[in-house]
Amino acid sequence: MDKVCLVIGAGAGIGGTVGARFAAGGYHAVLGRRSDTEGLDRLVSDIRAAGGAATGRLLNAVEPGEIEALVDEVERDVGPIHALVYNIGAQIGDRSLPETSAKVFERCWRMATFGLFRAAQAVCPLMAARGSGTVLVTASTAAMRGNAGQHAHAAAMAGRRMLCQTLNAEFAPRGVHIAHIVIDGAVDAPDTLGKMLGPERFAALRSMKGADDGLLLPEHVAETYWHIAHQHRSVWTHELDLRAWTDQAWWNHATDTRI
């Protein structure tokens, strides 16, 4: 059976591109995303056209049992999950404290933290039993510091970071590599950042920064994920941050785009 890279949150930005990179390296990429069947089918078709193996699944990670059912299906029908990529975002836009409802706060937690907990609970024991595996978790600036208006997002992403630390403490000695990857900047991804900003603002941002590689390019982010998944265990990376060369002063980003 094929070894599998399972991507939870496979949009056309980081998630789908990471899946394509693993497929190019010989994995069967299983791509799960909440909606947009057409976009998912396009990602799968592109991978297959390039000679890789891929399967697409619609997946609402917030719904009880869906992550667990997908893991069971993949392990049974496709192959053992050697790499899990958890790439679900929890960005709802800036909201003041009075504007942040309990429902919104909880939903961010369910996407960012509880979903990862459920995915790890389903996959990590399987990896530990096999003595190997990698869990790659996409994080954001909010995991490291909370900005005004980011109460729900920052709390959820910081919880995700701490969960990665506990997973690492429990499973690294059993052969499972847990990596928390902070995406500290704007990603050139029209179906995520583009939707959040709107077409005009996204186009302006790309014009201002993208021409000089001032946005994080998904294909190069994917190379980092690939490298981490294949590190020798004597030098495992648990946490790192990625940002464009124009944003090295993390306290003074050139744009007011908080990811």
Would you state the torsion angle of the CA atoms of residues 115, 146, 97, 62, taken in this order, to the nearest 10 degrees? -10
pLDDT (0 to 100) of residue 206: 64
**pLDDT tens figures, 116-148:** 999 999 999 999 999 999 999 999 888 888 888
Provide the whole-model pTM.
0.88
- Determine contact, residues 44/54, Cβ cutoff 8 Å: yes
Burial of 239 (0-12, 13-18, 19+ CB in 10 A): middle
- Which CATH superfamily does the domain covering 4-247 fall into? NAD(P)-binding Rossmann-like Domain (3.40.50.720)
For residue 145, what pLDDT is reported?
A: 85
Q: Which helix (H) or strand (E) holds 131?
A: none
Of residues 77 and 150, which shows the higher confidence score? 77
Any idea where the domains of the chain sit in the sequence?
4-247
Closest CA to 57 of 122, 7, 127, 115: 7
pLDDT tens digits, 242-255: 998 887 654 444 44
